[in-house]
């Protein structure tokens, strides 16, 4: 990868940031893409210290084709080539489908998780053909493992995997594709927090995907880059999730029964509100708490009969 050109979307935190560092260690030239450019400058300096000869930072929204065309064209204008395109844009949720009373969130989830990967690929593909390069896509185990409260997310990830597997056949080896599948890779997965992520307008990620440091995230990033450099078609982390795949194929009823049993022990269903940079959970107690965001404080009343609201907040 010495002096080859790697474009990383969603590079301002989490797995995207760690992937950028792994490519930097291999002396690749980097193009770091995120919606808020100021978050990328520190990462750019870190990448240079790790060995990246040149690093460009670009503000762009990956769900807008014109933004994707702009950052790819600027990459070609500066470096003259693209060797790897790494798509890490992702958008999670933890609400029950039937409790969502604002359907406008559904296309947003699909935009980030599907089109936020497809548009950069569409624009970069002619240049990747020229360099016989590679596309790296970050998906999740939910694309085949049905987990409650992740219905739209799971559907989008499944669509993404099918898109890239089909594209792999269409490209016939001219451009490689590495599909990286992760399970829960952060230590904060159960805390119900949502944090703003730099991939697109109105994008948020569960905190389990936002952690920018720590063993699991760094290890997954190393596996992804190693697999991409070696030309592997797939990489999975952690590998023990394969046991669920066996049940999914050969004993799906057992898997369904297991999830129902787990849900039955949770008692009251707890649904996360969608917000940015704050923990917003519906709980039976305390009966009243404050939700803080920026300089505003909003009172919130919780009860077991409260209908969850989906909040879409721009920063």
To the nearest 10°, the Cα dihedral for 279, 280, 284, 286?
60
How many residues appear in the chain? 315
Q: Quick check: is 23 catalytic?
A: no
Select which of 23, 127, 153, 164 is catalytic.
153
What is the per-residue burial (b if ≥16 Cβ within 10 Å, else e) of 247-274? ebeeeeeebeeeeeeeeeeeeeeebbbb
SS3 184: coil
Please give the full DSSP string across 226-295, using - where no structure is assigned. Answer: HHHHHT-SEEEESGGGHHHHHHHHH-HHHHHHHHHHHHHTT-S---BPP-SSEE-B--SSSSEEEEEETT
Q: How many CB atoms lie within 10 A of CB 234?
A: 12
Q: If residue 33 lies in a helix (H) or strand (E), which one and from where to where?
A: strand 29-34
Q: Using CA atoms, how far apart are residues 80 and 86, in angstroms rounded to an integer? A: 18
> For tokens 């060797």, what's the residue?
83
Active site residues: 153
């Amino acid at each position: 990868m010495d002096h080859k050109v790697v474009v990383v979307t969603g590079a301002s935190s989490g797995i995207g940031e760690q992937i950028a560092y792994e490519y930097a260690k291999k002396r690749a030239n980097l193009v770091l893409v995120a919606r808020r450019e100021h978050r990328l400058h520190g990462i750019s300096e870190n990448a240079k210290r790790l060995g990246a000869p040149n690093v460009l930072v670009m503000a762009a929204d990956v769900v807008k084709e014109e933004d994707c065309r702009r950052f790819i064209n600027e990459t070609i204008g500066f470096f003259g080539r693209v060797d790897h395109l790494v798509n890490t844009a992702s958008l999670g949720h933890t609400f029950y489908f039937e409790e969502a009373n604002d359907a406008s969130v559904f296309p947003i989830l699909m935009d980030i998780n599907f089109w936020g990967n497809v548009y950069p690929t569409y624009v970069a593909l002619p240049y990747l053909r020229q360099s016989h390069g590679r596309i790296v896509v970050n998906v999740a185990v939910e694309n085949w493992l049905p987990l409650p409260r992740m219905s739209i997310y799971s559907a989008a990830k499944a669509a993404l995997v099918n898109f890239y597997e089909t594209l792999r056949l269409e490209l016939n080896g001219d451009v490689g594709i590495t599909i990286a599948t992760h399970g829960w890779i952060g230590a904060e997965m159960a805390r119900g927090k949502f944090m703003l992520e730099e991939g697109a307008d109105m994008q948020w990620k569960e905190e389990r995907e936002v952690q920018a440091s720590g063993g699991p995230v760094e290890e997954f990033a190393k596996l992804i880059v190693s697999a991409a450099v070696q030309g592997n078609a797939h990489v999975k982390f952690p590998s023990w999730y394969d046991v669920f795949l066996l049940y999914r194929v050969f004993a799906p009823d057992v898997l369904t029964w297991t999830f129902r049993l787990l849900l039955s022990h949770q008692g009251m269903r707890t649904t996360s509100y969608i917000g940015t940079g704050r923990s917003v959970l519906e709980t039976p107690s305390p009966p009243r708490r404050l939700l803080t965001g920026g300089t505003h404080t909003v009172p919130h009343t919780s009860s077991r009969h409260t209908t969850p609201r989906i909040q879409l907040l721009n920063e």
